[in-house]
A and B are shown apart, each in its own frame.
Chain A
Amino acid sequence: MEDEVKTESDILFCSLNRLYGNRFDLEMQNKLRAAIDTVAKTVVGLRSVSMAQYGDPSLPFTPFRKED
């Protein structure tokens, strides 16, 4: 069956369904659908902020030397 893809939430759900869909019955798939909407809404909020192109992430990277 072809999944109907309209929104980002649909895309995420299709991706999830193709990876793990065989683990879920119809009732659980419906719950998954609702849960993935939460993830989709979260990233929409995240992307609503414009940032400078050069803004670093808050994740320090340090080149490694064992003796340091």
Chain B
Amino acid sequence: MAANPVFLSIRSLGDLLRTRKVSPVEITQIFLNRLEEMGPRYNAVVTVTRDLALQQAKQAESEIGSGVYKGPLHGIPYGAKDLLATAGGIPTTWGAACFRNRCFDFDATVIRKLRDSGAILAAKLAMVELAGGMGYRQPNASFTGPGINPWDPTRWSGGSSSGPGSAVSAGLIPYAIGSETWGSILGPANHCGVTGLRPTYGRVSRYGAMTLCWTLDKLGPIGLTADDCGLILQGIAGSDPKDPTTLKRSFSYDSGMAARPFKLGIIRNVADGTSEPMRRNFEAAVLKLKEIATIDEVALSDLPYDEIARTILFAETSSAFEDFIASGETASLTAPEDQYTPYTRMVLSARDYIRALRLREIVNREIDAGMARFDALVGPSRPTCATKLDADFPSALRGAAKDTMGAIGNLSGLPAISVPSGFSAEGVPTGIQFMGRAYEENAIIAAARAYQSLTPWHLRHPPEVLSQVPPG
């Protein structure tokens, strides 16, 4: 093999595959071996789909060899968060012990679209049980164990897309598909030092994905770079008759978009309450961004963003899992708090849910008006970097501080991308997020790409992992 595929970007891997300098079967073997050998170290993997992956890799090799090249994902292995339905006897567990043997007889639309793009499904990846919707308050909330951070095995990988975050960070897989209801893509991206893109609500079909909250759930990529995420999003975006909430607007990734100088905004006091390394590295990132952007402060209306988002989350979760909760099956969940907290959402009134939806409409309009003059708002990706595995957190949704951008972004269905912004004194990654207006993924990816062109953070990989990368 001419090059070592571990920690190569999608674009680089794709070029090597297209020009037949590497073989889909060879690189699939390498990633399958890494998933099997190193995956357990991070509790990152639920099922390695070796047989399917090799079958798809052989098909890709044959197609590319005969001149049929399907695009930048063709022949590249990926992992899917284990809430995406997969046919063929591959279990889809939702991270919960009671579903560990459950199989569906169909593929989620995202899985189908990636297969049609020539991508190779190599693993179903670990996640917080039921995507964290039951109210977990510490990392040990999955039947596969707590997600372990490749940068520091005493720390958490983040959730609920814990496997996608750690698997990409450890070079077990070139990219992964995660999901976010509130923080579940940006969180693991922040904690694991990788890039995570939360698309606009409705950009990617949710058909075949576990429902946590109908109006908050989004699927999106976790990869090494912003450019990777753009290429992956193009492969999975699009309207789907099986998911009526998908957008009619098409998405075409514009990798040449360069709107310099970018117009960026910072919500007033956005870093208040965040941990010292998050705040310090955010301030350094803002200084760097001033080389390519104008940056203005934004004042938001005094609305209870957090409470609105939480009410919708509580109400929709309790409905989506009503039968599960009422049957008493929560008693089988791993985290003790997941066994009782869901009951508390069962008594939320319809009046409060509708009030939250009415306030959401006000938020949608105010935020869109406030963001109209910007390419993106920037802020720390999360309030903290990766916490210790044995540490409780005050809220699974926001760590130790308010997550105003997370509340607004998810409430209003806005796209955001988290990219690495540096490290704490202990060597744990931090992230910065770029959040855009609805449908403006290209703008935030362009800004994130420009930031990555100025900084080295996304090129750093966990030392423990680097020692096990085969020579290129």
**Residue of chain B at shortest CB distance from A59:** B357
Q: Are A43 and B358 in contact (CB under 8 A)?
A: no
The contact of A56 among B331, B343, B361, by CB within 8 Å, is B361
**Residue of chain A at shortest CB distance from B353:** A57
Number of A-B residue pairs at CB separation under 8 A: 82
Q: Are B308 and A35 in contact (CB under 8 A)?
A: no
Q: Which chain B positions have C-beta within 8 A of A66?
A: none
Given known A42-B311, A43-B311, contact A57–B357 (CB-CB < 8 A): yes
Q: Which chain A positions have C-beta within 8 A of B364?
A: 58
Q: Count residues of chain B with CB under 8 A from any CB of chain A.
A: 34
Q: Which chain A positions have C-beta within 8 A of B354?
A: 57
B360, CB-defined interface residue at 8 Å: yes
Chain A 42-57: CB-based contact to B (< 8 A → 1; otherwise 0): 1101111101000111
The contact of A59 among B215, B347, B359, by CB within 8 Å, is B215
Q: Are B344 and A35 in contact (CB under 8 A)?
A: yes
Shortest Cβ gap from B321 to chain A (Å): 14
Give CA–CA (A54, B349) in the complex, Å.
20
The contact of A46 among B307, B341, B343, by CB within 8 Å, is B307
Q: Which chain A positions have C-beta within 8 A of B362?
A: 51, 55
Give CA–CA (A45, B344) in the complex, Å.
17
A16, CB-defined interface residue at 8 Å: yes
Q: Are B352 and A46 in contact (CB under 8 A)?
A: yes
The contact of B347 among A28, A39, A46, by CB within 8 Å, is A39
Give CA–CA (A42, B311) in the complex, Å.
7
Shortest Cβ gap from B330 to chain A (Å): 9
Q: Which chain A positions have C-beta within 8 A of B358?
A: 51, 55-58
Give CA–CA (A39, B315) in the complex, Å.
10
Give CA–CA (A42, B345) in the complex, Å.
11
Q: Which of B215, B331, B358 has the most CB of A within 10 A?
A: B358
Q: Are A43 and B352 in contact (CB under 8 A)?
A: yes
Shortest Cβ gap from B337 to chain A (Å): 7
Give CA–CA (A4, B347) in the complex, Å.
18
Q: Which chain A positions have C-beta within 8 A of B357?
A: 57-59
Give CA–CA (A31, B343) in the complex, Å.
11
Given known A42-B311, A45-B304, contact A31–B340 (CB-CB < 8 A): yes
Give CA–CA (A18, B348) in the complex, Å.
15
Top 8 A-B pairs, shortest CB-CB distance: A57-B357, A45-B307, A58-B361, A58-B360, A45-B304, A36-B344, A35-B344, A43-B352
CB pairs A–B below 8 angstroms (23 shown): A16-B344, A16-B346, A20-B343, A20-B346, A23-B328, A32-B340, A32-B343, A35-B340, A35-B341, A35-B344, A36-B347, A42-B314, A43-B348, A43-B349, A46-B304, A46-B307, A46-B355, A48-B304, A55-B358, A56-B358, A57-B354, A57-B358, A57-B360
Supply 20 further A-B pairs (C-beta < 8 A) apart from A39-B314, A42-B314, A58-B215. Answer: A16-B346, A23-B328, A31-B340, A32-B340, A35-B344, A36-B344, A42-B307, A43-B348, A46-B304, A46-B307, A46-B352, A47-B355, A49-B303, A49-B359, A51-B358, A55-B362, A56-B358, A56-B361, A58-B357, A58-B361
